[in-house]
Amino acid sequence: MLYVNKNAVNFTQLGCSKQVKEKLVVVGNCYNESTAVDILFQANNTQLPLINICHNTNRDETIYAHHYIIGAGLNPYEVSNNRPSFKEGQFYTTISANDAYSQSSQKNQVAYLVGSQSLAEKYINTSRSFYFARGHLAPDGDFVHIYEQNATYYYINVAPQWQAINNGNWKALESALRTYAKSKNTNLEVWTGGKDVLKLDDVNGNQVEIYLARDSKGKLSLPAPELSWKVLRDPSRNASVAVFMINNPHLTKIPSRLIVCPDVCSQISWVTWDVKNVEKGYTYCCKMDSLKNSLPYLPEMSKEQLLT
């Protein structure tokens, strides 16, 4: 029971007159002359960051997002049936990110890059979930309150990810992380991003990089990453792991250049997935001390044990 002005008030009687609203605040620079942005809430003179973003405004590309999963808060957490639209904020000044993610725009853009409309229609095949989803970096389900969940719906907090993968092994990973945090009653520190640029064969059999947008001058931006990745850290155990997922459901064989470390997924017990399934997202896991310089913007974690 809660007391307001010495009167007992039931929690079911409480509510907010209006929704708490987030802000996007540029807080400095980050990797490779990119822009550090906090998605945060303002409480009087105090700023409460929810998600830290490193975003390259020149390429309309987010390098990584950093957030926490609060295990104790997820059981239970608030659920809303109203999924908000994604917002551009003060970014994407020369393109429309919203237009770039439309399936018709994707098909036209891929046709432009590979030099063939018919080939583009093979790549962008909605019946097989082969199209680019707005792949949340810090997903709404990782947060407790509806106002926090709504704050994740910014384009700087997504990366182009094939829907078959987003709804496949990536979804399994996100769900397993929340279950882990709840069951262990622990807080997880999470970094999520994309690495390198996805390449597809053009009409002549040459590999071309895939960008979802080009501006009025023909400049390409909003690259689809070749690898989607998450780094997960449980500070209470001094344990961490990096998970890489190949963001290409069209591969018939796995190029060695896409494997950045010895795979230790077989030692990870807290997630059930189909790691060798290319259409769901071919997946491998890394000990932090084996990453070398693959993710140079992360803090030092090489001495931590594996998060099994």
Which of 278, 226, 277 has its CA nearest to residue 251? 278
Structure token pair of residue 84: 């908000």
Residues 198, 223: contact at Cβ < 8 Å?
yes
Residues 29, 36: contact at Cβ < 8 Å?
yes
User: What is the CA 4 to chain-centroid distance, rounded?
Assistant: 41
Q: What is the C-alpha to C-alpha distance for residues 173 and 187, in angstroms, rounded to an integer?
A: 16
Residues 192, 138: contact at Cβ < 8 Å?
yes
Q: Quick one: CA dihedral 258, 264, 268, 272, positive or negative?
A: positive
User: Active site residue: 66, 67, 136, 145, which one?
Assistant: 136
- 82 annotated ligand binder: no
Q: What are the b/e assignments for 6-40, b being 16+ CB within 10 Å?
A: eeeeeeeeeeeeeeeebebeeeeebeeebbbbbbb
250 is catalytic: no
User: CA distances (Å), 3 to each of 8, 12, 18, in order?
Assistant: 4, 13, 22
Which of 129, 88, 90, 125 has its CA nearest to residue 110? 125
Phi, then psi, of 59 in degrees rounded to 5: -105, 0
Q: Which residues are annotated as a binding site for Mg(2+)?
A: 166
- Residues taking part in catalysis: 136
Q: Which positions make up the binding site? A: 166
